[in-house]
């Protein structure tokens, strides 16, 4: 059973993502990238050394300021200023160089992780995807990759350098001043870090609430916009807007709490630094009074603490961002490492199709363990033959096609193609062998050409048009203002149900598989078009193993065998004539449909010639064209 995926984690940072990220930052076989990492680290250390020397040089300059305009003293002072300037330039330039050198490594990692996650999400089961909210899923990938960026920027270029700088400053304090200066600096930094982390941990939950309500608002937006038509059908715009507003109100409340707590954090930080500065300056006053320190050294101590304040000031943000990044990355890596439900066996070989015989042997299947959907189904579709599955809605017909396609694994029994259990072959080869025209066709929001070519991406122009001709949609496409370049709209909604179905048929024709699965492939078409396509389908299903799922029985009368499925069981099977003669479930379905068909035919005549029996026309004025 699929375990729910935590999107936000529980707020406590796990350092697992850092370990998981490491191989992407030190990629096997990429010596160029590894060299960049080393150069970046080298630049970073040099930049920090330069940084730490800036206040020192400032102090030295101050002490060398000449009392008179005597030659050598001025030269010495100018010399110090020159060195001071060089150190400042080095500090900035090396930091920039480091960023530039490292950028390629960072974006390589970002791309690799993002792409592997995207690919992995595609290998996850249909069950997983039906249970997921798409909006939430793309958010996880989005935030996860952003998290990597944040982590790299902050850990590598902020936390690590700050620690280095601290150590260097403490060392200089000890060397240049005395142990009290060093201890005060360390105490101030310690208090600062402790306070920042404590407050930030407390703040994280506000941040999480903010993210959760942001997620919620985004899923609601996506869901509501996807259901645009349904919203209109029921005049529920106000209801949708209210739901959205509720999420936004939550978001606003959480954001305000985040903001207020940030002010508390900043005030506390400023207080700690001010106190530290006060103590250090106090100590320096005593040092000057006792002639142990110069004015330049007084300024130097001050400059050190103020300079430390810059990276420290970012610490709260950095810590929070890192925690957030770790949480986001953890969610993404969890997704990336989420086990697949349907997997290839290590020994899986490609499916070898000789004739394409499909065999279901006592197949038992359930989506949820509590409710068995197929209760021991056995049938064989001999190579090149056509078998039809009919039966009431919810009987489990489409389920059979999902099992054959191996979207789900079965509970017991066996499904084989040419004697090979479908669990023993690779999924790619299995799916390459089967062409499916699904019950509900959803198209990509692209051109008609793109959607047809999707059946075989490498297909040429002529092949695409040939497939469209076979599916009886070529003429329609040519009449469109942009022809094959017409856009089909979100999920293909700019096409009618029947047009979409014909696009689906065309792309399956293009795929040209040895096994065909038609799930109500022509249900959305009128009788006339259906008949024309039926002959096309007949044409392509000749010599191919075909499983037809149909509602309209007239489309399956020629099938080699018809299975009547009801509540997950095959209740009748045989050829059309035998089944009609048996006067069972099939015969009654057949008779009902024939009556309905006859009524439709009569109606057509009325439509064509309104003089005849106007009474009928009045009964169904809309269908008859109105009065
Ligand atoms: N992903 C799923 N999770 C749980 N139950 C499902 C799922 N998909 C389908 N079902 C249930 O399994 C049963 C069989 O569904 P199936 O889609 O196979 O019916 P069908 O015979 O194709 O019906 P129709 O003629 O309406 O298309 C239904 O009762 C349905 O509610
Ligand atoms: Mg179905």
Query: Which helix or strand (DSSP H or E) is residue 410 part of?
Result: none
Tokens of 362: 């006592």
Question: 68-82, 357-371, 427-441, 509-523: which range is least confident on average?
Answer: 68-82
For ligand 1, atom 7, the nearest C-alpha belongs to 367
Residues 6+ apart with CB under 8 A from 263: none
Ligand closest in space to the Cα of 389 = 1
| Full 3-state SS string of 109-157 | HHHHHHHHHHHHHHHCCHHHHHHCCHHHHHHHHHHHHHHHHHHHHHHHH
Mutate to test the pocket of ligand 1, among 128, 395, 403, 551 (most ligand atoms within 8 A of CB): 395
Q: Which two tokens stand for residue 502?
A: 């014909």
Atom index in ligand 1 nearest the CA of residue 395 equals 21
> Which ligand is nearest to the Cα of residue 373, counting in written order?
1
| Gap from CA of 78 to ligand 2 centroid (Å) | 87
Taking CA atoms only, the protein residue closest to ligand 1 atom 6 is 367
User: Quick check: helix, strand or coil at residue 299?
Assistant: helix
Tell me which of 127, 373, 400 to substitute to probe ligand 1's pocket, judged by most ligand atoms within 8 Å of the beta carbon: 373
Give pLDDT, residue 414.
Answer: 94
Structure tokens at 2: 């699929």
Q: Tokens for 424?
A: 């023993």
How far is ligand 2, taken at its centre, from the CA of residue 481, in Å? 34
Ligand 2 mean position, distance from CA 390 (Å): 10
Find the 367 Cα to ligand 2 centroid distance in Å: 15
Lowest mean pLDDT among 258-262, 382-386, 619-623: 619-623
pLDDT at 11: 47
Ligand 1, atom 17: closest residue by C-alpha = 398
CATH topology of domain 16-336: ABC transporter transmembrane region fold (1.20.1560)
Say how many Å lie between the CA of residue 565 and the centre of ligand 1: 12
Using the predicted structure, report yes or no on whether residue 609 has a pLDDT greater than 80.
Answer: no
Which atom of ligand 1 lies closest to the CA of 396?
18
Tell me how far the alpha carbon of residue 397 lies from the centroid of ligand 1, in angstroms: 8
- How far is C-alpha 399 from the geometric centre of its chain's CA atoms? 26
> Which helix (H) or strand (E) covers residue 4, if one does?
none
- The CA–CA distances, whole Å, from 447 to 252, 458, 479, 489 equal 40, 16, 15, 8
Closest atom of ligand 1 relative to the 399 alpha carbon:
18
Backbone angles phi, psi at 458, to 5 degrees: -85, 0
- Which is more confidently placed, 263 or 318? 263
**Cα 27 to Cα 33: distance, rounded to the nearest angstrom:** 7
Nearest CA to ligand 1 atom 10: 367
- Contact assessment for residue 328 and residue 143, using Cβ atoms and an 8 Å cutoff: yes
Give residues (CB < 6 A) around ligand 1. 130, 367-368, 373, 393-399, 439
Burial class (CB in 10 A: 0-12, 13-18, 19+), 530: buried
Report the distance separating Cα 120 and Cα 332, nearest Å. 11
Instruction: Give first-to-last CA distance, the chain, whole Å.
Output: 57
The pLDDT-based confidence of 610 (bands split at 50, 70, 90) is: low
Q: Which ligand is nearest to the CA of 397?
A: 1
Question: pLDDT tens for residues 143-160?
Answer: 888 888 888 877 777 777
Average pLDDT, the chain: 84
Give the Cβ contact number of residue 63 at 10 Å.
Answer: 16
Q: Which atom of ligand 1 is nearest to the CA of 565?
A: 21
Query: Most confidently modeled of 157-166, 191-200, 319-328?
Result: 191-200
Burial class (CB in 10 A: 0-12, 13-18, 19+), 588: exposed
The three-point CA angle 198-199-202 to 5° equals 90
**Residue 174 scores a pLDDT above 90:** no
Q: Which ligand is nearest to the CA of 519?
A: 2
Cα gap 161→43, rounded to integer Å: 11
Q: Is the pLDDT of residue 350 over 90?
A: yes
User: Ligand 2 centre from 398 Cα, in Å?
Assistant: 4
* Cα 385 to ligand 1 centre (Å): 26
C-alpha span between 240 and 230 (Å, rounded): 11
pLDDT for res 616: 43
Using alpha carbons only, give the angle 272, 273, 278 rounded to the nearest 5 degrees. Answer: 100
Q: Which two tokens stand for residue 48?
A: 């920090």
3-state secondary structure 600-619: HHHHHHHHHCCCCCHHHHHH
Q: How far, in Å, is the centroid of ligand 2 from the Cα of 353?
A: 26
Q: Report the b/e string of 87-104 with b at 16+ CB within 10 A.
A: bbebbeebbebbeebbee
Report pLDDT for 204: 78
- CATH fold, domain 358-582, is Rossmann fold (3.40.50)
Q: Scanning the structure block, which residue is given the tokens 């004025």?
A: 621
Dist CA 326 CA 343 (whole Å): 29
In the chain, the percentage of residues whose pLDDT exceeds 70 is: 92
At 626, is the pLDDT very low, low, confident or very high (cuts 50, 70, 90)? very low
Atom of ligand 1 nearest to the CA of 568: 14
- Whose alpha carbon is nearest atom 24 of ligand 1? 393
Q: Token pair of 613, please?
A: 């029996």
Q: Which two tokens stand for residue 441?
A: 């066709």
What is the predicted pLDDT for the residue at 203?
A: 83
Q: Do domains 16-336 and 358-582 have the same CATH topology?
A: no
Indicate whether 445 pLDDT > 70: yes
- What are the pLDDT digits (tens) for 10-56? 445 567 777 888 888 888 888 988 999 899 889 988 988 888 888 88
Contact indicator for 418, 350 with CB cutoff of 8 Å: no
Query: Dihedral (C-alpha) 143, 145, 149, 154: value to the nearest 10 degrees?
Result: 50
State the virtual CA torsion across 323, 327, 329, 333 in degrees, nearest 10: 140
CA distance 238 to 181: 65
* Cα 436 to middle of ligand 2, angstroms: 13
Residue 549 CA: nearest ligand 1 atom is 22
Report CA(440)–ligand 2 centroid distance (Å).
9
Atom of ligand 1 nearest to the CA of 400: 18
Cα within 13 Å of Cα(453), Cβ side: 13
Q: What is the pLDDT of residues 541-574, one digit of tens each?
A: 878 999 999 888 888 888 899 999 999 999 999 9
Would the pTM of this model clear 0.75, i.e. be above it?
no
Please report which confidence band the pLDDT of residue 5 belongs to, taking 50, 70 and 90 as the band edges.
Answer: very low
Torsion of CA 66, 69, 73, 74, to 10 degrees: 90
Per-domain boundaries in the chain: 16-336, 358-582
Distance CA 481, CA 485 (A): 9
pLDDT digits (tens, 9 = 90+) for 615-625: 444 444 333 33
Pick the atom of ligand 1 nearest to 126's CA. Answer: 1
């Amino acid at each position: 059973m699929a375990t729910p995926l935590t999107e936000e984690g529980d707020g406590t940072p796990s350092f697992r993502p850092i370990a998981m990220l490491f191989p992407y930052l030190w990629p096997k076989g990429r010596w160029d990238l590894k060299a960049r990492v080393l150069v970046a680290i080298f630049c970073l250390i040099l930049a920090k050394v330069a940084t730490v020397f800036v206040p020192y040089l400032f102090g030295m300059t101050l002490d060398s300021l000449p009392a008179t305009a005597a030659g050598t003293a001025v030269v010495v002072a100018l010399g110090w200023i020159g060195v001071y300037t060089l150190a400042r330039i080095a500090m900035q330039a090396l930091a920039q160089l480091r960023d530039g050198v490292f950028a390629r490594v960072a974006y390589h990692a970002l791309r690799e992780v993002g792409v592997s996650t995207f690919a992995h999400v595609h290998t996850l089961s249909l069950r997983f995807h039906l249970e997921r909210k798409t909006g939430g899923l793309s958010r996880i990938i989005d935030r996860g990759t952003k998290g990597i960026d944040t982590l790299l920027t902050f850990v590598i270029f902020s936390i690590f350098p700050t620690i280095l700088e601290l150590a260097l400053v403490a060392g200089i304090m000890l060397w240049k001043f005395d142990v009290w200066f060093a201890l005060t600096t360390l105490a101030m930094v310690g208090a600062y870090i402790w306070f920042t982390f404590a407050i930030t941990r407390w703040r994280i939950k506000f941040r999480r609430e903010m993210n959760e309500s942001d997620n919620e608002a985004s899923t609601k937006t996506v869901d509501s916009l996807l259901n645009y038509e349904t919203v209109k059908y029921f005049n529920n715009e106000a209801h949708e807007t209210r739901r959205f507003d509720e999420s936004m109100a939550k978001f606003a409340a959480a954001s305000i709490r985040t903001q207020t707590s940030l002010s508390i954090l900043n005030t506390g930080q400023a207080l700690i630094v001010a106190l530290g500065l006060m103590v250090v300056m106090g100590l320096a006053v005593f040092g000057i009074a006792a002639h142990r320190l110069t004015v330049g050294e007084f300024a130097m101590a001050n400059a050190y603490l103020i300079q430390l304040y810059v990276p420290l000031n970012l610490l709260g943000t950095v810590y929070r961002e890192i925690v957030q990044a770790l949480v986001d990355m953890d969610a993404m890596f969890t997704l990336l490492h989420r086990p697949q439900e349907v997997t290839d066996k290590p020994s899986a070989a490609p499916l070898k199709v000789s004739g394409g015989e499909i065999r279901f042997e006592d197949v038992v299947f359930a989506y949820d363990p509590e409710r068995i959907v197929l209760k021991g189904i056995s049938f064989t579709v001999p190579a090149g033959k056509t078998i039809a599955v009919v039966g009431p809605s919810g009987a489990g017909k489409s389920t059979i096609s999902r099992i054959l396609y191996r979207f789900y694994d079965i509970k017991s029994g066996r499904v084989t193609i040419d004697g090979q259990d479908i669990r023993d072959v690779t999924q790619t080869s299995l799916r390459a062998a089967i062409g499916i025209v699904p019950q509900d066709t959803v198209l990509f929001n692209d051109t008609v050409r793109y959607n047809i070519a999707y059946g075989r991406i490498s297909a040429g122009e002529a092949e695409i048009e040939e497939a469209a001709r076979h599916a009886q949609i070529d003429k329609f496409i040519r009449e469109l203002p942009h022809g094959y370049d017409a856009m089909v709209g979100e999920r293909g909604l700019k096409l009618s149900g029947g047009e979409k179905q014909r696009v689906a048929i065309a792309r399956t024709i293009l795929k040209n598989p040895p096994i065909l699965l038609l799930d109500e492939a022509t249900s959305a078409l009128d009788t006339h078009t259906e008949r024309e396509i039926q002959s096309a389908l007949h044409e392509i299903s000749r010599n191919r193993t075909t499983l037809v799922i149909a509602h309209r029985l007239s489309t399956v009368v020629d099938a080699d065998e018809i299975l009547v499925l009801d509540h997950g069981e095959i209740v009748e099977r045989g050829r059309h004539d035998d089944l009609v003669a048996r006067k069972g479930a099939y015969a009654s379905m057949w008779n009902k449909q024939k009556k309905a068909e006859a009524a439709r035919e009569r109606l057509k005549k009325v439509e064509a010639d309104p003089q005849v029996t106007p009474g009928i026309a009045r009964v169904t004025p809309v269908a008859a064209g109105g009065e």
